[in-house]
Amino acid sequence: MANMKKATISAKKVLVTSFLVDLLDIAMNLAVAIITGSVVMLAELLQGIADLTAAGFLLIGLKRSEIPADKTYPFGHGREMYFWTLLSSVVMLAVTAGLSFYFGFKRFLSPKFIDNLFLAYMALTIAIASNGYSLSLGIRRLLNGEKLTKIFHRFAHSSKVETKATFILDLIGTTSAILGLFALTLFGVTGNLRYDGLGAMIIGIALGVLSLLLLFSVRSFLIGKSAPFQTQKQIIESAKSIPGVLDVLDLKTAYVGPNKLLVNIEIHIKNNLDTDSIEKIIDKVKSKVRKDTPDAFHIQVEPETP
């Protein structure tokens, strides 16, 4: 598939869109679940409530991560985003996955007839469309103009945890709606009432797997994940391109927030330079790294000897 259209999509737009889609899902699925009595629609309702709660946590995290640095938090509050994302993934795992499987299992053991099946079909089709649109925004923000085939690589290495979280939320919404529609279609064709409960259980399992994926993705950033290899390579090349820098002896990086990279570089410079010359080289290294690596938020350069 060709490159996804490159456009500037803010984290706030992705989060707000996901939040509004969740509101639509809750209102629609609540009404349809009551009318039809389908446990698949109940699972969809639970998924919408959990997603709305998670999206709310992400909006809080996004707001708090923008608080400026101070003496207590010299590198800012960027890691707040990681905490709130972790909290949202726990909500999805405990509420959405657990309850969906539980109610689905109960219905599988004690099947009940579903009324107004056509309403469920309509609601699930709308959910696929709305969640699919919100999902496309998250994909475009993650890819940032790269090919769609790079989506898994970008997901694994991107520090945009708020976008990764909404990507998972909307993937959950889309996947659960597709699975629910498939299960209720099987029920409509075969008349087997257990497909309703089975569909809810499958939705619960799928949601649990996706929630764990997000949970482990955020974990690495909470404990100080370094920049990807290509980013580190770019930083080293930028530093070595400055006249007077003979080599880069050591490089340490860590994300202190979405798109906020802490960089510590140890460089070997020419001998017999005065203090002013050394300071100029250090300033040039900082400027070059910041220009070539926009994520570089705080850069510390230390001259060392091999």
pLDDT digits (tens, 9 = 90+) for 256-267: 888 889 999 999
Which homologous superfamily does the CATH classification assign to the domain defined by 11-222? Cation efflux protein transmembrane domain (1.20.1510.10)
Query: What whole-number distance in Å separates Cα of residue 160 and Cα of residue 218?
Result: 10
| Across 118-127, 203-212, 267-276, 281-290, least confident range | 203-212
pLDDT at 165: 79
Domains of the chain: which residue ranges?
11-222, 229-303
Q: DSSP secondary-structure letter at 242?
A: S
pLDDT at 128: 92
| Model confidence pLDDT, tens digit, residues 89-144 | 888 787 778 888 988 999 899 888 888 889 999 999 999 998 888 888 888 887 87
CATH architecture under which domain 229-303 falls: 2-Layer Sandwich (3.30)
Chain position carrying tokens 């930028």: 238
Q: Do domains 11-222 and 229-303 have the same CATH topology?
A: no
pLDDT at 8: 62
Residues with Cβ < 8 Å from 229, sequence gap 6 or more? Answer: none
Helix, strand, or coil (residue 146): coil
The answer to whether residue 147 scores a pLDDT higher than 90 is: no
Query: What whole-number distance in Å separates Cα of residue 135 and Cα of residue 124?
Result: 16
Residue type, 299: I
Chain position carrying tokens 């005065």: 274
Residues with Cβ < 8 Å from 185, sequence gap 6 or more? Answer: 121
The answer to whether residue 243 scores a pLDDT higher than 90 is: yes
Chain center to CA of 44: 21
